[in-house]
Amino acid sequence: MYVKMILPALTEATSPLFRPIKYSLFPPLGLATLAGYLDDDVEVVIHDEHVEPLRLDDTPDLVVIQAYVTSARRSYEIADHYRALGSYVVIGGLHPTSLPHEAALHADTIFTGPGEDTWPLFLQDLRAGHPRPRYDSSVRTLEGLPPIRRDLIKRHLYLVPNSIVVSRGCPHSCDFCYKEAFFEGGRSFYTQTVDEALAEIDRLPGRHLYFLDDHLFGNVRFARQLFDAMTGMGRLWQAAGTVQSVLRPGLLESAVAAGLRSLFVGFESISSANLRGHRKHQNLGRDYAAAIRRLHDLGVMVNASFVFGMDDDDESVFERTVEWAVDHGVETATFHILTPYPSTGLYQRMESQRRLLHRDWDRYDTRHAVFQPAQMSPERLEEGYWWSYREFYRWKNIARAAMAKPDRTGQLRHLAYATGWKKFERAWDTLIRAKQVAHALPVLEGVLSGLGRVQAPSTAHEVPNPDRTTPAPISPTQRARYQRQPRTVPPHG
């Protein structure tokens, strides 16, 4: 059997003129996870359209497509093509979970939710000759999974080939997030065992890791055990977390000791009314400035995420947010236009208020205003969004934010990191086209580690750590096993 697994790209990622680096960052981990369930005698390829053109002149027995909202149109196009050629086509992922009836028009079988329970069931049914048209996930566990088929990933096409997830979902329920809709019908936050997570980390060559977990710190006990066991492994890593988890006494220190050097933090809005309106309760009343200070004091760079267009946002929101981020020495910022993904609480509210402007999924990419904002026009929202990026990454603002760091090393690291992402986009484009992007990984590692030094927390933010009294249940032998020096391999791995 010949199985072709495809991650279709949104149009921008395949542009002949310019390819943003963000589409060459991470390999298709979801598909590589599913490939782990295939028998050894199956011929399988994973094709990521973000990094290489897709050939459509073959006739696989089984075509497996992962669809996000922004790639839904392209996914259906590819699915229709292969069905016409006689291949058996299946579609799963976030968008088919949100809109199963839409996806079902283009596939022989559709899947909703995570695939770890339904995918092996389908493979069994397919072999027996009676696959069902639809499988809905309900059993949620990450225990005892087959190893991810990382051998199918073309590592040299990615800047960050070592992406990893050790949990799924998140304990919170923000109304704009994909999470509630995707995990409906079962648990919506669960982790691997610490041992299995460590084994997966151990399989990854080199030093750098990027945890793609929605909220790596969401299960405090798991996170602490993981970080404690990782301490001494010599890894350098990046991840995402909440303001609340950053402020939690002790946990961040453990993460830093284990190699955390940059954190994506969902601040989302500097307005409490907005946070309340979108059920972002975990951010309410939190001292954002203290969170940033704590991260910086520990040598962790901040990628601050902000969303524009919530109901309490008027036209002044762009300037206020950018000023705030620059003043607080934020290294990189990711701005988004509020986007109601189908089936989320936000989507239902917008639909019932008749505020959705269209259902052209290509434009549900957080760069277009697809709904009527409460206090400005959609055009003004888009202008403000682009203005914010331009303004935040102006040389003078990068320099101003860097100067918020107390020491020269911190300032230099800030400058190198912020300019590296946003001031050398043409250079990234050239590297991507030459299929040389992986050669930039040592530079990223250098910026994360070489320039950065871990500092002790300043007394002003030193916090007691009550959790430290709990012994970590990782045995000394287990710990020693994982604390060996990582292999060093060339970027092509």
Which DSSP category does 329 fall into? T
CB atoms within 10 A of CB 396: 9
| Closer Cβ to ligand B12, 1 or 29, answer by number | 29
Q: Which stretch binds ligand B12 (CB under 6 A): 85-93, 189-197, 380-388, 400-408?
A: 85-93
Phi-psi region of 271 (alpha: psi -120 to 50; beta: other; left: phi over 0): beta
Judged by CB under 6 A, does residue 145 bind ligand B12? no
* Span 180-239, contacts to ligand B12 by CB under 6 A: 212, 214
Q: Which does 222 bind (CB under 5 to 8 A by kind): ligand SF4, ligand B12, none?
A: none
Cα dist from 208 to 263, 315, 443, 491, whole Å? 14, 40, 11, 11
Q: Which of 9, 177, 258, 333 binds ligand SF4 (CB under 6 A)?
A: 177
- Among 60, 66, 75, 77, residue whose Cα is nearest residue 113: 66
| Closer Cβ to ligand SF4, 44 or 181, answer by number | 181
Q: What totals of helices (H) and strands (E) does the chain contain, helices first?
A: 20, 14
Q: Which stretch binds ligand SF4 (CB under 6 A): 3-11, 149-157, 166-174, 190-198?
A: 166-174
| Closer Cβ to ligand SF4, 365 or 429, answer by number | 365
**Sign for the pseudo-dihedral over CA of 220, 161, 449, 478:** positive
| Closer Cβ to ligand B12, 118 or 225, answer by number | 118
For the CB of residue 125, give the shortest distance to ligand SF4 in the complex, in Å.
Answer: 32
The three-state secondary structure class of 42 is coil
Distance in angstroms (rounded) separating the CA atoms of residues 427 and 140: 42
- Beta-bridge partners for 302: 263
Phi-psi region of 259 (alpha: psi -120 to 50; beta: other; left: phi over 0): left
Could you please report the per-residue DSSP string of 418-431?
HHHHHT-HHHHHHH
Q: Which of 215, 328, 414, 422 binds ligand SF4 (CB under 6 A)?
A: 215
Judged by CB under 6 A, does residue 114 bind ligand B12? yes
Q: Which stretch binds ligand SF4 (CB under 6 A): 72-80, 104-112, 172-180, 388-396?
A: 172-180
For the CB of residue 299, give the shortest distance to ligand B12 in the complex, in Å.
Answer: 24
Q: Which of 50, 149, 172, 328 binds ligand SF4 (CB under 6 A)?
A: 172
Q: Which of 2, 14, 29, 419 binds ligand B12 (CB under 6 A)?
A: 29
**CB-based burial label for 360 (10 Å; 0-12, 13-18, 19+):** exposed
* Span 330-389, contacts to ligand B12 by CB under 6 A: 341, 365-367
Contacts to ligand B12 by CB under 6 A: 7, 9-10, 22-23, 25-30, 33-34, 64, 66, 68-71, 90, 92-95, 111, 114-116, 118-119, 165, 177-178, 212, 214, 341, 365-367
Contacts to ligand SF4 by CB under 6 A: 170, 172-174, 177, 179, 214-215, 242, 266
